[in-house]
Structure formats: structure tokens, C-alpha cells
Amino acid sequence: MQIFLKRVLDSVGVSAFDTIMVGDDIDSDVGGAQSLQIRGCLVKTGKFRHSYFEQSQIKPDMLAESVVDFSESLLKK
């Protein structure tokens, strides 16, 4: 995942600082992003499991009920 994310950033010319990864997998999506200094937002849809989230060593920068909720929270800022 890290190589993929790095290639995406490079291909669009965006820095990790200006990026947020939004995903439902705390390990691959959030953990992979954070390993590249990208902020990670975990959404509580798809693969999300509350018990796994609570025991994980990975702590997302943001937590949202869905991608829609994440988008709405960005618009409010």
C-alpha cells in the first residue's frame, strides 16, 4: 500500500501534508497512509469493526460514520 500511495502522490504532485486518506481498513488505509505522514480518516462502513478498532495500535486522525459525514465535516471547517 505504501508504494501505491507514494506513486499516487507523486503522479498528482501533492504532498503528504496536504493529503487525507479516507478508508474503512484501519491497517491498510489508515496505517499505510500514516506511515507516509498522511493523515488518515477511518470511516465506520465496509470493513470497519468496532472491536478491532478498539484493540488496534493504529489511531486514526479522524473517525467518521461515512464518507458523506467526512465530507460534510470538511465543508464546515
Give the confidence band of 77 by pLDDT, cuts at 50, 70, 90.
low
- Cell readout for 29 is 488505509
The pLDDT of residue 52 is above 90: yes
- Local structure of 6: helix, strand or coil: helix
Report the share of the chain in percent with pLDDT over 70: 97
* Cα–Cα distance for residue pair 18/41, rounded to 1 Å: 14
The pLDDT of residue 66 is above 90: yes
Give Cα separations from 74 to 41, 44, 47, 48 (angstroms).
12, 17, 23, 21
CATH of domain 2-71: 3.40.50.1000
The pLDDT score that the predictor gives to residue 26 is 97
Question: Which residue type does 54 have?
Answer: E
* Cα–Cα distance for residue pair 47/25, rounded to 1 Å: 6
Instruction: Report domain extents, the chain.
Output: 2-71
pLDDT digits (tens, 9 = 90+) for 18-51: 999 999 999 999 999 999 999 999 999 999 999 9
The pLDDT of residue 57 is above 80: yes
